[in-house]
Amino acid sequence: MDALNNYYKNSLLGNLCGEYKNRWRVASNNKLELLKLSLCQQSIPHVCTFAYEGKGLTEEYIKENFKQYINGYTIQDADGVEGYTYGLYVDYSFDNDLIADKNVCSLMWCKDVNVVIPETKCPVLYISNKSEVSISGEGFNAIRVYLFDESFINLDDFDEESSILVYKYSKDARVEIGKYCLGKVKVFDKELKI
């Protein structure tokens, strides 16, 4: 868990809040609890940026140490919201589409992945670490996408009743809107504050 301890020490230098410090201490010896903490929506941008900056939290490290909890495993109530589900996808490389049936999904190092949003689902997607993702919806979707570093998304095949909000936290992040994306798309450039 050296990479996670390095992450924690660097976070302390960045004025980590007291609540997060306490939660980290409680979770530090339990992989599932650590993953749950990393999937809190306030944590995800920090974790993604730390990994992107090459400070030891690598794709290989996560795949080796958390393999039983990624690429399909469902985490419950990471933010303390009863009934909310979370998922971490790292180098998702299965032949089938990634079905975004969780409330919050974080995708890291995912290349050539097709993300399908089930009908009436409204997930929050965090896409980072040079991921390249195509996203489509099965109808009546309202999604939020947080896009980091050099990641790329292609929005395609959304109906008119769908809406997509994209928040780009890097000038190098790219958004492409396909010709079958009939939903309302708004893209915002935001400053990353962590």
pTM: 0.92
Q: Phi then psi for 118, rounded to 5 degrees?
A: -60, 155
Q: Give me the chain's average pLDDT, please.
A: 90
pLDDT at 148 (0 to 100): 98
pLDDT for the residue numbered 29: 79
Mean pLDDT value across residues 82-102: 94
All structural domains of the chain with their residue ranges: 2-189
Band of residue 7 on the pLDDT scale cut at 50, 70, 90: low
The rounded distance, in Å, linking the Cα atoms of 22 and 127 is: 27
As a three-state string, the secondary structure of the chain is CHHHHHHHHHHHHCCCCHHHHHHHHHHCCCHHHHHHHHCCCCCHHHHHHHHHCCCCCCHHHHHHHCHHHCCCCCEECCCCCCCCEEEEEECCCCCCCEECCCCEEEEECCCCEEEEECCCCCCEEEEECCCEEEEEECCCCEEEEEECCCCEEEECCECCCCEEEEEECCCCCEEEECCCECCEEEEEECCCCC
Q: Which residue has the higher pLDDT, 81 or 99?
A: 99
Q: For residue 101, is pLDDT > 90?
A: yes
Does the structure show a pLDDT above 80 at 1?
no
Q: What is the pLDDT of residues 176-189, one digit of tens each?
A: 999 999 999 999 99
Taking the C-alpha atoms of residue 111 and residue 109, their distance in angstroms, rounded to an integer, is: 6
Other residues' Cβ atoms within 10 Å of the Cβ of residue 12: 12
Q: Of 21-30, 126-135, 139-148, where does mean pLDDT reach its minimum?
A: 21-30
* Residues 100, 121: Cα–Cα separation, whole Å: 8
Q: Residue 4 has what pLDDT?
A: 63
* Token couple for 34: 């650590």
Grade residue 73 by pLDDT with cuts at 50, 70 and 90.
very high
